[in-house]
Amino acid sequence: MLLFHADLLLAPLSSGSRGNCTFVGDHRSGVLVDCGLSTRQVFARLEAVGLGDVRIDAVLVTHEHTDHVGAARILDERLFQRQGFRVPFHLTRGTRMGLDHRCLPTRVGLIRAGSPFRVGRWAVDPFSVPHDTRDPVGFRVTDGRASIGVITDLGRATRLVERQLSEMDVAVLEFNHDLAMLLEGTYPWSLKQRVKGPHGHLSNVQAGELLAAAASGRLQHVVLAHLSEDNNAPDLALAAADAALLKARVGGVTVTVAAQGAPVGPLRIGSSAPASRPHRRRVIAPRPSPRPVLAPATQLALF
């Protein structure tokens, strides 16, 4: 799926409670946001979306839960073998403290929320999100023309998150659960409380409210991410996103549901929105039956 003629690409390789990894870059190089998918799957899915030869310049880690960082150590070695240099894994000091030693990569670049840094041609802006880990962040990546953000694993919206979202051309945004499905489901009550709590995950309603409040005219594409396979359904998330965009009076935004079992994209991002975008499109990513091979689980992930 290609949107506009520009160089910045997005490919959500996997999204959900069993592993997360997203590519941001171009056909030559880029970064991975999180690495909770097995290394074999990371490379296979890059190949599947036509990015098998791309150079990975860095891995950006949002937080220490295994579904976001479980493959870091093995991925570090495989990237060294493929590329001949140690790729930096950028994470906050709190994430480094919480990281299981079995996941620790060789080259750690400590970052701070609110302190932008560069990775090659990419400018990266990490920002705080409320989640039940030591120092979790979201990321906004830009090439100076267009901006892609990854906002997942947060229990509520904040003014900072709203501001970051308003500056994005593409937002990978968490639509984790439908509240009724969660409350009526089989999770233990303590886990239900964590998921729906202020440091858990966004519901469809919460994500829709965030999108309605912060979506700007520059927004071209929204990827609905980290859907719970037990407590959500793509149609419910899509309906919430559509209603939010209608409320925000933002047209021409393509909405895609990221998948756990298959990559999406690559999406090609335009440097600016067209003058008139009167309609929205909806695309549901395929969800094949085979379950992906995930990184070894050594920590509890908050579903």
pLDDT higher than threshold 90 for residue 92: yes
Backbone dihedral angles phi then psi of residue 282, each to the nearest 5 degrees: -125, 135
Task: Encode pLDDT of 237-288 as tens digits.
Answer: 999 999 999 999 998 999 999 999 999 989 988 654 443 344 344 555 544 4
Domain ranges within the chain, ordered by starting residue: 8-284
What is the rounded average pLDDT for all residues in the chain? Answer: 89
Give 148's contacts (C-beta < 8 A, 6+ positions apart).
Answer: 8, 10, 24, 140, 141, 142, 168, 169, 170, 171, 172, 269
CATH class in words for 8-284: alpha beta
pLDDT higher than threshold 50 for residue 299: no
pLDDT higher than threshold 80 for residue 161: yes
Q: How many CB atoms lie within 10 A of CB 175?
A: 33
pLDDT of res. 50: 95
Task: Encode pLDDT of 184-197 as tens digits.
Answer: 999 999 999 999 99
pLDDT of res. 273: 42
